[in-house]
Amino acid sequence: MTAHAWESFIARLLDMGVDAVQALIRIALIIAVAYIITKLLRAALNRLEQFLIRAAVRTDTATAGTAKRIKTLASVLWTISCGLLWFLVALVSLSQIGVNIGPILAGAGVVGLAVGFGAQHLVRDLVSGFFILLENQIRVGDMAIINGTAGAVEGVTFRTVVLRDQAGVVYVFPNGSINTLANATLDWSAYVLDVTLPYWVDTDRVMEIMRRVGAEMKAETEFASVMLEPIEVFGVDNFTETLVTIKARFKTLPGQQYLVGREFRRRLKYALPAHGIVISSPANPKPASTPLPAS
């Protein structure tokens, strides 16, 4: 081998060594950056985990398994994130040493598309559930109307909301399918009642009796703790040639409106005749005497 050939061979070896060293340095830098990203990601997921647990406690949705489910979700997110990150690191590292990663990316794209298409509903449910908990939209024990179905909220998770109606039927709504949500017991509840009377009844007198009955209930220990305000008697809401409707409202603690409203109706039924207001009609003539509640 001539001197020129040796010089060319050594030059090629040196160039290859320099390229290899540069590639190794770049790969080392890539790995170092990825390691830092994993640390930041772990810290972010830890903060997210604690935030979700506090949100569940604040919204009264925390159960014995809530923290465990949240930790499991955080673990799954961590595994997926790390897997994707180090997969990208491996691809970039291979490209640094001259490997054609085009076919690998094409295959990964097909697999990712298939997985994403299959999991899109699950992801939508989880994202919607996250915001339901974050925004404190509903809690276990609330009375809610979801997509036109009313019932008591029996469960709220990241994937579903469970309602039970008055007939005992249980409805399970995936969070991503919830289009309309109404909460009848958020912060406070209201019982709105219409008192329909014959046209000839003294409406001012009836409204006075309604306020008196409401005030008596508000003064009692049993109802004072659940009635947030005295009864609001709005006045005559409607009338015809034969009937008059008086509208009123109670504001109560969440979920206590029916207890207060039904007791008010019971007492008003006896209070009206006790104060000389007897409701009669041709179909229901005025009785000779009206029974009063036992003292």
What are φ and ψ of residue 127, in 5° steps? Answer: -65, -45
- Which residues are paired to 245 by β-bridges? 196, 238
Q: pLDDT tens across 10-41, in order?
A: 667 666 666 677 778 888 888 898 899 989 98
Mean of pLDDT values over 262-279? 91
pLDDT band per the 50, 70, 90 thresholds, residue 292 = very low
Q: pLDDT tens across 208-223, in order?
A: 999 999 999 999 999 9
Does the global pTM surpass 0.75? no
Q: Is the pLDDT confidence value at 117 over 60? A: yes
Mean of pLDDT values over 251-278? 91
pLDDT at 227: 94
Q: pLDDT tens across 158-192, in order?
A: 788 999 998 999 999 999 999 999 988 878 888 99
Q: Is the pLDDT confidence value at 70 over 90? A: no
Q: Is the pLDDT confidence value at 295 over 50? A: no
pLDDT at 64: 52
pLDDT at 54: 76
Q: pLDDT tens across 220-264, in order?
A: 999 999 999 999 999 999 998 889 999 999 999 888 898 999 999
The mean of the pLDDT values for the chain is 81
Mean of pLDDT values over 261-282? 86
pLDDT at 112: 66
CA 157 to the chain's CA centroid: 8
pLDDT at 286: 53
